[in-house]
Structures are given as C-alpha cells and as structure tokens.
Amino acid sequence: MTTPGGDGVPIASNDDVVRVRQLVRAAAAAAGMSLVDQTKIVTAASELARNTFVHGGGGSARVESVVNARGRAGVRLVFTDSGGGIPDVAQALTEGWTSGGGLGLGLPGARRLADEFELETEVGRGTTVTVTKWTR
Amino acid sequence: MERVPILKIGQVLLVSIQVDLQDQTVLALQEDLADRIVRTGARGVIIDITAVDIVDSFIGRMFATIASMSRLMDAETVVVGMRPAVAITLVELGLSLGGVRTALDLEKGMRLLGAPLPTIGSGAVDGP
C-alpha cells in the first residue's frame, strides 16, 4: 500500500499528525506486525510527524508497504519538509538535546524504534527522514 | 480540537483518555486539570490510559508535567492502565516517566491514592 497521490499526505496541522499515526497503524497491521512492533513504528511516526510540523514548518508523509529480498513484509515511512534543515545532524541525533521545548527524544527515539533510519538534510532546503520496520 | 473530560469522584479527579491525543488537546488538558484541582481542592488525579494505543515523548512529557504541577497544588497523580506494548515502546524510546506514579488499573490507582472505593448495594463486600 502506498498512500495515494505519490507525494504522500500533508502534515500541516496537529490533526495531520494524528492522521499519519492512524495510516501507519493500518499499514503496520496489514504487514502482519505484532502489536508491540505496530506500537513502536506508530510511536516513531508520531515523533517524526511532529518534527516535520513543528521544526520543518510542515511537509508530508509517505507510507509505503515494502517487501525485502527475503520476502519479509515491512513498512517504510518517508517524512519530508522544506524547512530550515538541521545544521548539526550529530547533535540532533544526540539523546536529550533539543532545539525546542521537547525532551530531545524525537529523532534518536525514532531511530531506535525503527529497524532502518536515514536522514538527509540541507540547511535552508529541508529535511527528509526515512524509517523502515520489518515484520519478525 | 477535542477536549478530554475530567470527572470528579470524591477527592479524586479522573481523566480517562478516549481520543487520539493531538498536541493541542494535551496542552488544554493540562490547563483544565490545574484549574479543576484548584476549584475542587482534589487530593488526587488519576489519568486512565487504558484506551491509549501510543505514548510518544510529547504525551509522556505531559504526564510528567501534570504530575509535578498537581504536586505543587497538593494533589498526587497516578497514571493507570498502560498497555504492555506501550510500556515496551516507552522503555525503548528512552522515556522513563520519572516522578510519575503508575498503577496497573483504575482500582489499584484509587487504592494508591487512599481513595475509598465505592461499594454497590448494602452488604457488598469488596475483598480484604
């Protein structure tokens, strides 16, 4: 399942963050993930969607169903914004460091909850975070 | 934006979260609770998350904030009903919820606060 439109669903409000969580939940259940793994990927999605909205000034989320070479199903999430980008990636991935009023668990937490994590960012151009979780 | 209702049972305020929490709802709940604690003189707050299927760092921080805020107003907070999958995820996320008391369910939460449990009908015996 890929979310319709190709570009994904917009993240332009707090309601959209909730909507993304629901989409990810449905995709994770469809992939046959355990309840714990569903909860982990939905929580990661919540952190990343909030980052996209709060730090990236809004953007979009793409929810994809994927299958790896060994036939294992999974869910891949791509969060994109065209905000200010992250000047210091190492710092942003450090636990407890926060640029806003959060706990500094958003990015490092999402990385831990997913199986694969990829971060592309350019100052002044925006940020794309891709996470994947596979069924066990 | 939805608002989470706050119920009063004796000296305890009960918040049972039944909606998908978005950030504004969480912030409104903090304010509503602080206001209700002052107006009612409640000594305890129970946040029931039985129906909550994810707790992320923002929602987790809300629990900690509500707990310290109510403590300043002489009320204890207990979070009850956390699902196993949510607990496992919180640990992996790195959120310890330090300072927040938790109980397995509503009944144990009420006991923890020393709140009397309701008995229904005359002669009803509620365990030891």
Q: How many structural domains compose chain A?
A: 1
Neighbours of A77 (CB within 10 A): 28
Contact B85/A36, CB-based, under 8 Å? yes
Encode pLDDT of A20-74 as tens digits. Answer: 999 999 999 999 999 999 999 999 999 999 999 999 999 999 999 999 999 999 9
Q: Which of A55, A53, A51 is nearest to A11 (CA)?
A: A53
Specify if A2 maps to a domain.
no
Average pLDDT over residues A16-23: 96
Give the A:B interface size as CB pairs under 8 Å. 70
Contact B56/A50, CB-based, under 8 Å? yes
End-to-end CA distance of chain B: 44
The DSSP string of B13-26 is EEEE--S---HHHH
| pLDDT at site A28 | 97
The SS3 assignment for B33 reads: helix
| pLDDT at site A7 | 67
Specify if A32 maps to a domain.
yes
Encode pLDDT of A82-117 as tens digits. Answer: 999 998 888 888 877 776 656 667 899 999 999 999
Specify if A129 maps to a domain.
yes
Specify if A50 maps to a domain.
yes
Q: The domain spanning residue A90 has which CATH number?
A: 3.30.565.10
Of A15, A25, A106, the CB nearest to B57: A106
Of A14, A22, A105, the CB nearest to B93: A105
Specify if A99 maps to a domain.
yes
What the block records as the tokens of B11 is 């000296």
Q: At what angle do helices B84-93 and A106-113 cross, to 10 degrees?
A: 120
Specify if A1 maps to a domain.
no
Specify if A69 maps to a domain.
yes
What residues make up the domain containing A102? 9-134
Average pLDDT over residues B21-45: 94
- Supply the ipTM of this predicted assembly: 0.87
State how far residue B42 is from chain A, nearest Cα, in angstroms. 29
| pLDDT at site A98 | 72
Specify if A3 maps to a domain.
no
Q: Indicate whether A3 pLDDT > 50.
A: no
Global pTM reads: 0.89
| pLDDT at site A4 | 47
